[in-house]
Amino acid sequence: MNDVQSTIHAVKGFKVAGVHAGLKADGALDMTLIYSETPCVAAGIFTTNLVKAAPVLVDQETLAKNNTHIRAVIINTKCANACTGQQGIDNARQMQRWVAERLGIGEDEVLVMSTGVIGTQLDMTKIRHGIDLVADALGDENWEAAARAIMTTDTRPKFASWRDRNTDYVVSGIAKGAGMIAPNMATMLGIVATDLSIQADAMPAQLKTTANLTFNCISVDGDMSTNDTLLLLANGQSGIRDGVDSGVVQGVLAVCHELATSIVRDGEGATKFITINVRNAHQNTARQIANTIATSPLVKTAFYGGDANWGRIIAAAGRAGVPFDADKAELWICSGENWSAAPYPTTNDWEDPTIATCNGAIQLFAAGIALNYDEGAASQIMRSPSITVTLDCGIMNGEYSNIWTCDFSHDYVSINGHYRS
């Protein structure tokens, strides 16, 4: 089938596992291993934070030297191995060595990922024990366990699959993330594996384009982590080749979209899923405005309270640091998730189901002033579990940006106020 699935399919040539290595005190799964029986072409996108965790630095160095023979990815939770100095670098490389020895592969064929508290050193005794356990547990069908074993404040595992109905190639992925989520990169760990064959020189551009349409379009709280990593591994075992001219692999894009939006849905303390559409502005301008709206604490708390306080949205757009003229702008809200890969409809097209599905859209603002809208109906929309905000900037025709975000609740403060404890 060609639709992305919330279940996860095995990927030819890949074996995975998730185990409890003793890193988490509660017995929860806390270490994941993904292994390919044959070498993978690989690409990675990493945090743009100037403070980078040891595994990020080690993986960047590894991929710079070898992006055609990657065989394994090892991931631990509980400790981010960030701000840990040379010892942290040494420990990340030791993880590479231990996995390589256990699987009989080269050290430069292993990538490392970590997530958890910043500033603490890895417990290498537990890491070594966990590597033995997870290597023994490798199997074709263990993707859900692998997804569970990378969770931190996540309330549920995040996984998705795509199977092409014509050629039968598979794309499967897992991700973690619920807080410290902001674009460039969104704070998360993600691994996408496929049995498709992708040329090494084409893969970085494909992954970058995919991330720009998915993981770089989500925000929970506007914070950026030290460990953000998205990896794409392709071992070619399906025998199907993705041509250089095909652009982003459709299945990879679909899986990454599902994983990215699932992070927002599971945002720390989140009660609502919100789509921010900013249209009719230069794309970079639209994205900056959308990001500013999506990360505004005042906007996010208004969503939580079900308050149609549109002034907060317009004010956020005006402080985004890019061209914006309130006298040209128009603002709508509606319930539901309304986004598309095509340009968004004009003012009079909201009721056309062939262009957009919008559940009783209400226009709140135009030409610099509030419109005569039904306050009760607007508040009802703001109490919906999913809400779409569309801001037409009136600057130019056609270009747009989507950002997915969530509200701020009391639980977000509670979760992050006691994260280390």
**pLDDT of 194 above 60:** yes
pLDDT (tens digit, 9 = 90+) per residue, 316-329? 999 999 999 999 99
pLDDT at 340: 44
pLDDT at 95: 98
pLDDT at 355: 32
**pLDDT of 128 above 90:** yes
How high does pLDDT run on average in the chain?
85
pLDDT at 179: 45
pLDDT (tens digit, 9 = 90+) per residue, 196-240? 999 999 899 889 888 888 888 887 655 566 788 999 999 999 988
pLDDT at 187: 53
pLDDT at 247: 43
Name the CATH superfamily, with its identifier, for domain 14-265: L-amino peptidase D-ALA esterase/amidase (3.60.70.12)
| Lowest-confidence segment of 145-149, 391-395, 401-405 by average pLDDT | 401-405
% the chain with pLDDT above 90: 56
| Lowest-confidence segment of 142-151, 191-200, 398-407 by average pLDDT | 398-407
Residue 315's pLDDT band (cuts 50, 70, 90):
very high
Question: Nearest 5 degrees, angle CA 33-CA 258-CA 282?
Answer: 125
pLDDT at 341: 36
pLDDT at 147: 95
Name the CATH superfamily, with its identifier, for domain 273-417: ArgJ beta chain, C-terminal domain (3.10.20.340)
**pLDDT of 83 above 90:** yes
pLDDT (tens digit, 9 = 90+) per residue, 327-366? 999 999 999 886 443 333 333 333 333 234 455 789 999 9
| Lowest-confidence segment of 131-145, 163-177, 180-194 by average pLDDT | 180-194
Rounded to the nearest angstrom, the gap between the alpha carbon of residue 390 and the centroid of all alpha carbons in its chain is: 22
pLDDT at 381: 92
Instruction: Output the CA–CA distances (angstroms, integers) from residue 199 to 190, 196, 332, 354, in the order listed.
Output: 21, 10, 43, 37
pLDDT at 206: 87
Can you give the residue ranges of every domain in the chain? Answer: 14-265, 273-417
Identify whether 187 is a catalytic site residue: yes
Q: In 362-400, which positions are buried (b, 16+ CB within 10 angstroms) versus exposed (e)?
A: bbbbbeeeeeebeeeebeebbbbebbbbbbbbbbeeebb
pLDDT at 242: 66
pLDDT (tens digit, 9 = 90+) per residue, 15-64? 999 999 999 988 999 999 999 999 999 999 998 888 899 999 999 999 99
Q: What mean pLDDT is predicted for residues 294-313?
A: 88
Beta bridge partners of 276: 389, 403
Cβ–Cβ under 8 Å, residues 56 and 231: no
The one catalytic residue in 187, 194, 261, 285 is: 187
pLDDT at 113: 97
* Torsion angle in degrees (nearest 10) through CA of 101, 103, 109, 115: -90
Nearest residue to 309 via CA among 364, 271, 362: 364
Identical fold, 14-265 and 273-417: no
